[in-house]
Amino acid sequence: MKQIKTVWYAIILIATLQSYAQPTPPQGKKWEKVEILSDEFEGNSLNTSKWAVNVSTWIGRPPGIFKTNAVKVKDGNLQITNYKLGSAETVNGNRYTHAGGLVRSINSTLYGYYECKMKASRTFMSSTFWLINQRNELSGCNRRVTELDITETVGVNSGGASWINNTIRSMNSNTHSRNVQCNSTPVGQEGGKEGLGGQSWEAYHTYGAWWKNKNEVLFYLDGKFVYKIKPPSDFNLPMYLRLVTETYDWNPVPNGGGMQGSADSRTTYYDWVRTYKLVDDNGTGKNDKVSFKNAPVSIPSKTSYTFNIDYEAKTNREIVVEFWSSTSWLASKQEIVSAGSGTKSITVDLPQAPQPGSGYVYKVHIRPTGTTWRDAINRDQVDNVVVTNPSTQLITNGAYYITSTQSNQRLLSRALEQHSAVMHNPLNYNDQVWMFNHEGNNVYTIKNQGTNRFLEVPNAKCSDGVNVATWTNASGNHKKWKIVSNGTGVYGLQPMHCTNKGLDREKGALNANVTIWGYSKANNNQKWKIISSNNKNLSLENTDDLTFYPNPTENVISIKGLSTNDVVIIYDLMGKIMKKISVNRQQDTIDVSELQSGLYIISIVGKTKMQFIKK
C-alpha cells in the first residue's frame, strides 16, 4: 500500500489533503466504474480474470526480460520487483541480464477515465502505466499501433543526460502512432510533462487520463488537471491496460548492475488501478457516494481516531473506514447507514498506536450490506497523513480556573481592582475564568473571560514584587506565559520576557495580590492548579462511603462503596466524556488502559467526583 521539531513542522506545513475523484462528467452523464478493468489489489494473488503477466509477442526490451516471479500482490499493492538475473539469458539472439515485469488487462477498452496510484522504483528501470492496442486484431487501415502512455518514469539517471533528471521528477505522458498499414495514416508522437514536486520513487502519486474521444486526451496528476494532448492520429481503437517495468537504451545498466538496493527500493508499487466509463445519468441525483469530511492530515499517535464521512445511499449500505500505514492495513471499522444522505461519524480503533512518521492513509468505501470490499460502489482516500509524537502540550486550549494549591482561592481580575490580578474565594463569575491559548512549546496567552483582557506584567518589568495585571492585547512577551510542570497536576507560570520569574501569591496570603518573584519549584506560593471551568467541584476527595484506588494508575481504577445502578463517568479536563458505565455491585474495576497519560475526573453521578492520574 501507500508508501521531528523543525523537520516535523515542515512536514505538517506541506502536507495536504489528497482526496481524489473523477473529472466532472458532461451534462447528463455520470461516471460508472468498470470492474473488469479496476483492482484494489487487496488480496494475496493477482486476479487472473482481469490480468495476465505475459505477452506472447513481447518478452521485454534487452537487457530486461519479463519474469512472472517479479510480480506479486502483497500488502494491498501490486508489486513488480526488478532484479539482476543469476546468469545472463540469450533468447532469439538477444542477451538479457535483468528481470522486470509486465501485467496487462485481459479486456480491452475504448474511451473512459483511467487512473492508478503508483510509487516508482529507485532503479534505472522504468515504472509505467499505459494503454496499447493489439495490431493483429485489426484489419485494413486500422491495422496499426496506437499507444497512450499515461506516465513513464525511471528512478535513477544512469544515462547521464540532464533531461533524465527531469523525467525522474515528473509525470511523463505520450501518445504514439506507428506501424501503420496505410500511407494516409499519420505517424509520430505527442506528449506532455508535469512536475511531481519530488522524485517519482519518494511517494505515491495518482496518475490519470481521460481519453475523451479520438482527438483528445486530458491528463490528471493527483486529481488535478495538468495538460491536454491531441494524438498524432485518430485514437479510436480499443486498447489494453499495461503496468510494466522495463529497460531503456537511453538509461543503460550502470556499473555493478544497478540492483544493489533493497527489494523495496527495486519495487514499483501500484496501490490500485481504476477505470470509469461515462453512462447516462437518469437525473435522480441519488448515487451511492462517500467522502471524508475535513479529515486531518496531521494527527498525534494514539489508538483511536474518529472520522466524519459524508455519504449518499440509495438504500441501506455499509460504510467501511480503513487506516493504513505506508505499507499495510492497520485497522478498519464498518457501519450501516440508511437510505438517504448525511454525515456519519465512524471511530477506528487500532491495536496499538501508530509509529510517528509520514505516508499514512485513510480509506473509505460504500458497498451493499453483507458484501466485501470487492463490491465497493464508491471510494475516497486521504494520502500523505503525518502521525506525530503524542502532544507535549501541558494544557489543552480552553477555559480554566487558576487556583492556589494551598487554598481554594482563584486568580481574579476585574475593573474593581483596576484590573490587577488578585486571589479571591470561588464565585460563579467569568472574571475568575481564564482562556488558555497555546502558541507552541507550552507558551500561552491567558485571557480573562470576563474582561477580554490578557494576563501581563505591566511595562515588561522584571523585578521581584511587580504586581501582575491584565491588558487589552497580547502583543509582547510580557503578555505570554510559559507553563511548567511542578508535580502531579501542579504548574508554574513564568512570564516570557523574564522566565527566571514566576507567578506568585504575595507572601502566600489569602486575598493576596499576585506578583512575579524569582521562580523556585519549592516555593509553594508559585504552585498552581489549572482546572477546567467546565467541571465543578473537581477536587473533591473520596467520601467516607466511596474509595478510589490506585491513584495514580496505569491500567485500572477500583471503586469500593458503589450501589447497584450507579453510573460512573470519566471526563477529561475539558469535560469530554471518555468512558461511561453502569455498575451492578458494590465494588467495580474500571479499565482505563486506553486513556492517554494525563489528569482525568472520575464521577459517581449524583454522589462525588475525584481527580485521578493516568500514567
Instruction: Say yes or no to pLDDT of 11 above 50.
Output: no
pLDDT score of 6: 32
Q: What percent of the chain is predicted at pLDDT more than 70? A: 92
Residue 9 has pLDDT above 60, yes or no: no
Q: Cβ distance 590 to 557 under 8 Å?
A: yes
pLDDT, residue 528, reads: 96
What per-residue confidence (pLDDT) applies to 592?
Answer: 83
When pLDDT is averaged across residues 527-553 and rounded to a whole number, the result is 67
Q: What is the mean pLDDT of residues 19-23?
A: 64
Nearest of 310, 290, 276 to residue 380 by alpha carbon: 290
Per-chain mean pLDDT for the chain: 89
What confidence tier does 574 reach under pLDDT thresholds 50, 70, 90?
low
Amino acid at 316: N
572: how many CB neighbours lie within 10 A of its CB? 19
Q: Give the mean model confidence (pLDDT) for residues 340-349.
A: 92
Say yes or no to pLDDT of 243 above 90. Answer: yes
Model pLDDT, residue 190? 96
Contact 584, 555 (CB under 8 A): no
pLDDT of residue 4: 32
Min mean pLDDT across 374-378, 539-543, 566-570 is at: 539-543
Cβ contact 318:334 at 8 Å = yes
Over residues 29-50, mean pLDDT: 93
195-199, 299-303, 541-545, 583-587: lowest mean pLDDT where?
541-545
- According to the model, what pLDDT value does residue 587 have? 66
Q: State the average pLDDT over residues 60-82.
A: 97
Q: What is the DSSP string of 57-96?
A: TB--STTEEE-GGGEEEETTEEEEE-EEEEEEEEETTEEE
C-alpha of 92 from chain center: 50
At residue 576, the pLDDT reads 72
Flag whether pLDDT at 427 surpasses 60. yes
Tell me which of 424 and 602 has the higher pLDDT: 424
Range among 221-225, 284-288, 450-454 rated most confident: 450-454
Identify the residue with better confidence: 357 or 574.
357
Q: Are 385 and 360 within 8 A, CB to CB?
A: yes
How much is the pLDDT for 543?
Answer: 45
Question: What are φ and ψ of residue 263, in 5° steps?
Answer: -60, -35
Q: CA-based Rg of the chain, rounded to a whole angstrom?
A: 32
What are the residues facing 55 on neighbouring strands? Answer: 58
The model's confidence at residue 15, banded by pLDDT at 50, 70 and 90, is very low
pLDDT at 391: 65
**Could you list the active site residues?**
147, 152
Identify the pLDDT of residue 2. Answer: 39
What average pLDDT does this structure show over 410-437? 93
Q: What is the pLDDT of residue 537?
A: 39
**Beta strands per DSSP E along 8-144:** 29-33, 51-52, 64-66, 71-74, 77-81, 83-91, 94-109, 112-119, 126-132
Residue at 345: amino acid letter: S
Distance CA 47, CA 10 (A): 41
Task: Using alpha carbons, list the distances in angstroms from residue 439 to 445, 451, 499.
Answer: 7, 21, 16
Burial of 549-566, coded b for 16+ CB within 10 Å and e otherwise, reads: eeeebeeebebebbeeeb
C-beta separation of 123 from 132 below 8 A:
no
- Mean pLDDT value of segment 321-348: 92
Cis peptide before 63 (omega within 30 of 0): yes
Tracing cell 519474469 back to the chain, one arrives at 67
Q: How far does the chain reach from its first CA to its final CA, in angstroms?
A: 35
Q: Is residue 535's pLDDT more than 80?
A: no
pLDDT of residue 451: 94
pLDDT tier at 540 (50, 70, 90 boundaries)? very low
pLDDT for 14 equals: 33
Q: Which of 52-61, 103-112, 325-334, 559-568 has the lowest mean pLDDT?
A: 559-568
Domains located in the chain, CATH noted:
29-280 (2.60.120.200), 289-388 (2.60.40.2550), 398-532 (2.80.10.50), 547-614 (2.60.40.10)
- DSSP run (H or E) holding 402: strand 398-404
- Looking at per-residue pLDDT, the higher value among 197 and 149 belongs to 149
Residue 131 cell numbers, joined: 494503454
**Residue 564 reports pLDDT greater than 90:** no
pLDDT level of residue 3 (50, 70, 90 thresholds): very low
For residues 180-206, one letter each, b for 16 or more C-beta atoms within 10 angstroms of the residue's C-beta and e for the rest, the string is: beeeebeeeeeebbbebeeebbbbbbb
Q: Tell me, what's the pLDDT at 497?
A: 95
Q: What is the pLDDT of residue 286?
A: 57
